[in-house]
Chains A and B, each alone.
Chain A
Amino acid sequence: MRQFLFLFCLFSHAENLKKLSQNLYWHRLLHMKENVSHVDGEHFFLSKEKSAYSELIETLKYIKSEKYHPKYKDHIQCLFPARTKWLEETLKLTLPKVTCEELQWWKNQFNAKGLSLVFSSYYPNNPSSFFGHTFLLVHRDKNPLFDMSIDYAAMGVENVNALFAIKGLIGLLPGIFSIKPYYMKVNEYTRGEGRDLWEYKLKITKNQIEQMLNHLWELTKTTYFDYYFFDENCSYFMLELLEIANSDWSFTHKLPFFVIPIDTIKAIVSEPGVVDKISFRPSFSKKAKAKLALLSSEEKNTFEKILSDKKIKTNNPKVLEALIDQYRLKFFNNHKLDKNDEKFLASLKDVRGTLPPIKEEIKLEGKRPDKSHATSHIELSLGKKFADLTLNPALHKITHSNEGLPPFSHVEILTTTLRYKNDQIRFKESILASVLSLHSYSSFDFDPSWLSQAVINNEKRLQASFDVGIGTSVKKDNYSLYFIPGTRLNISRYYKNTFSLDLALNFGGILSLGSWGKLSLLGSYFLRRKESINKAVFSYYLSRKITLLAQSVFSFNTFPLNKSKESSLSFVYFF
Chain B
Amino acid sequence: MKALLFILLLTSAFARDKSDGCGLGWQVTKKKTLSATTTRGTTNSVVPPTFGMTTGTIGCAKHGFVKKNKQLIHFVEVNFEALQSDMVNGRGETLSALASLCNTNVNNFVGKYNNLKAGSPSALLAKVRNTVSCI
Residues of chain A at the chain B interface (Cβ within 8 Å)? 106, 109, 123, 125-129, 133, 142-143, 145-146, 148, 151, 153-162, 164, 176-181, 183-184, 187-189, 191-193, 219-221, 224, 234, 317, 321, 324, 328, 331-332, 334-336, 349-350, 352-358, 450, 452, 468, 470
B43 near A335 (CB under 8 angstroms)?
no
A193 near B43 (CB under 8 angstroms)?
yes
B38 near A158 (CB under 8 angstroms)?
yes
Among B32, B53, B66, B88, the residue within 8 A (CB) of A181 is B66
Among B32, B65, B66, B97, the residue within 8 A (CB) of A145 is B97
Known: A155-B47, A179-B63. 8 other contacts (CB 8 A): A128-B43, A128-B45, A153-B44, A157-B47, A183-B75, A349-B113, A353-B87, A355-B90
Interface residues on B, range: 35 or more
Q: Convert B100-120 into 0s and 1s, putting 1 for each residue whose CB lies closer than 8 angstroms to a CB of A.
A: 100000000011011001000
B47 near A177 (CB under 8 angstroms)?
no
B:60-92 near A, CB below 8 Å:
63-66, 74-75, 78-79, 81-82, 84-85, 87-91
User: Is B20 in contact with chain A by the CB < 8 A criterion?
Assistant: no
Q: How far is the CA of A180 from the CA of B45 in the complex (A)?
A: 13
Q: How far is the CA of A193 from the CA of B110 in the complex (A)?
A: 28
A145-B94, A183-B75, A356-B111 given as contacts; is B42 within 8 A of A188 (CB)?
Answer: yes
User: Is B21 in contact with chain A by the CB < 8 A criterion?
Assistant: no
B55 near A180 (CB under 8 angstroms)?
yes
User: Is B56 in contact with chain A by the CB < 8 A criterion?
Assistant: yes
B88 near A352 (CB under 8 angstroms)?
yes
Among A125, A193, A328, A357, the residue within 8 A (CB) of B85 is A328
B interface, over-half SS? loop
B89 near A158 (CB under 8 angstroms)?
no
CB contacts (< 8 Å) of B27 on chain A: these are 335-336
CB contacts (< 8 Å) of B59 on chain A: these are none
Among A129, A177, A331, the residue within 8 A (CB) of B43 is A129
B65 near A109 (CB under 8 angstroms)?
yes
User: Is B30 in contact with chain A by the CB < 8 A criterion?
Assistant: yes
Residues of chain B at the chain A interface (Cβ within 8 Å)? 27-32, 34-48, 51-56, 63-66, 74-75, 78-79, 81-82, 84-85, 87-91, 93-94, 96-97, 100, 110-111, 113-114, 117
Q: Closest CB-CB distance, A146 to chain B, in whole Å?
A: 7
B46 near A153 (CB under 8 angstroms)?
yes
CB contacts (< 8 Å) of A128 on chain B: these are 39, 43-45
A356-B90, A358-B89 given as contacts; is B32 within 8 A of A192 (CB)?
Answer: no
A353 near B52 (CB under 8 angstroms)?
no
A160 near B36 (CB under 8 angstroms)?
yes
Most buried by A among B41, B53, B66, B82: B53
CB contacts (< 8 Å) of A126 on chain B: these are 32, 37, 39, 43-44
A349 near B44 (CB under 8 angstroms)?
no
Q: How far is the CA of A350 from the CA of B45 in the complex (A)?
A: 38
Most buried by B among A133, A158, A332, A450: A158
Most buried by B among A154, A178, A220, A221: A178
